[in-house]
Structure 1
Amino acid sequence: MSEVVKHIASWTAECLSDQEDLFLVDIIQKGSGAMSKVIVLLDGDNGISIDKCVEVSRSISRRLDEELELQEPLTLEVSSPGLDHPLKLDRQYQKNIGKSVKITLLDGSQIEGVLSKADPDHVVLEVLVDKKKKISENRELKLSEINKTIVLVSFK
Structure 2
Amino acid sequence: MSTTQSDRLRKLLEPIVAPAGMDLEDVKVTAAGSRRQLLVVVDADEGVSLDAIAEVTRAVSQALDASDAMGGAPYNLEVSSPGVDRPLTEPRHYRRNTGRLVKVQLAGGGELVARITAVDEEGLDLEVPGVKGRRPTARRLAFTEIAKARVEIEFNPKGGAAEDDTAADTDES
**TM-score, normalised with respect to structure 1:** 0.81
Determine whether 1:9 maps to 2:29. no
| Amino acid across the alignment from 1:13 | E
Q: Look up the match of 1:76.
A: 77
Kindly tell me the number of residue pairs found equivalent between the two proteins.
154
Unmatched 5+ stretches in structure 2: 157-173
Alpha-carbon RMSD: 2.5
Using the TM superposition, give the Cα deviation of residue 99 of structure 1 relative to its aligned residue in structure 2, in angstroms.
1.3
Query: What do residues 68-97 of structure 1 show as CA deviations (whole Å, max 9, x unaligned)?
Result: 061543333211101111122222211211
Q: How does 1:1-156 map to 2 (within 5 A)?
A: 2-20=3-21, 22-31=22-31, 34=34, 36-68=36-68, 70-107=71-108, 109-133=110-134, 135-156=135-156
CA distance in 1, matches of 2:81, 2:155: 21
Unmatched 5+ stretches in structure 1: none
**Is the 1:97–1:118 contact (alpha carbons within 8 Å) kept by the matching residues of 2?**
yes
In terms of Rg, which structure is larger? 2
Local SS of the residue matching 1:76: strand
Query: What do residues 115-150 of structure 1 show as CA deviations (whole Å, max 9, x unaligned)?
Result: 0121122112111243313x2222222212323221
| Amino acid across the alignment from 2:8 | H
1:16–1:65 CA distance, 2 compared to 1 (3 A): closer
CA distance in 2, matches of 1:108, 1:11: 39
| Amino acid across the alignment from 2:23 | F
Q: Could you say which structure has the higher strand fraction?
A: 1
Identity among equivalent pairs (%):
30
**Is the 1:116–1:124 contact (alpha carbons within 8 Å) kept by the matching residues of 2?**
yes
1:104–1:30 CA distance, 2 compared to 1 (3 A): farther
Query: What do residues 39-82 of structure 1 show as CA deviations (whole Å, max 9, x unaligned)?
Result: 22111111011222222223222322321061543333211101
**TM-score, normalised with respect to structure 2:** 0.74
**Is the 1:35–1:73 contact (alpha carbons within 8 Å) kept by the matching residues of 2?**
yes
CA distance in 2, matches of 1:40, 1:33: 19
1:27–1:18 CA distance, 2 compared to 1 (3 A): same
Q: Could you say which structure has the higher helix fraction?
A: 2
